[in-house]
Amino acid sequence: MKNQSWKSEIKTPGDRDFVTNGLRFVTEEEAQKYQDELLSRWFVKILDKRVSESTDKPNYIFIRENGAVSMESDHAVRWTFHRIYENKNEPSLNYAVEYAKYGMVCPDDELKIQALYTLGNISRWKGDTAKKCRAILKAYTGTK
């Protein structure tokens, strides 16, 4: 199966192999930031650490001020809308910007509809932020 995400792996005294948890990220950079933040809170000796590819679907994003956040959360979707609005001058986002703008402030019961409209209008947007935003909207709406 094709690699779809990135994971943090750690080896501590007593571990024969690297261990990981269920958090999978869209980009290697996110997984690394998560690992750094996580290990900053540990008081256990770390023998080795790495970030590696995984065949699992991504399920978390790393937001600097919030840490790891589930891709299926309202918070992740609203973060996505903000990223789209920040890139509003990108020609490939022309229709998505208005959906995202409303999605930043819409009631929670309308969030899924805005996510679907937005997802349908960002297919030509390229780059790591675009990839991350698409993954979040797909996870939130349950689309493939």
Last residue of a domain, one of 15, 50, 69: 69
Q: Residue 52 domain-assigned?
A: yes
The total domain count for the chain is 2
Domain that holds residue 96: 72-139
| Dist. CA 97–CA 104, nearest whole Å | 11
Question: Comparing C-alpha atoms, which of 73, 61, 4 is closest to residue 34?
Answer: 61
> Of 95, 78, 37, 29, which is closest to residue 58 (Cα–Cα)?
29
In a domain, 43, yes or no: yes
Residues 79 and 25 in one domain: no
65, 86: one domain: no
What was the pLDDT predicted at 1? 67
Spans in the chain with pLDDT lower than 70: 1
Asked whether residue 110 falls in the same domain as residue 57, the answer is no
Asked if residues 94 and 116 have their Cβ atoms less than 8 Å apart, the reply is no
pLDDT at residue 64 in the model:
80
In 3D space, the residue among 37, 76, 30 whose CA is nearest the CA of residue 53 turns out to be 30
In this structure, are 117 and 88 located in the same domain? yes
Residue 105 CB burial class (10 angstroms; 0-12, 13-18, ≥19): exposed
Among residues 69, 99, 121, the one where a domain terminates is 69
Q: What is the pLDDT of residue 65?
A: 76
pLDDT one-digit tens code per residue, 76-93: 999 999 999 999 999 999
pLDDT at 2: 81
E runs forming strands in 18-79: 48-54, 60-63, 67-70
130 in Cβ contact with 119 (< 8 Å):
no
Tell me whether residue 85 is in a domain: yes
Reading the block at residue 104, the tokens are: 């930043």
Residue 99 and residue 115 in one domain: yes
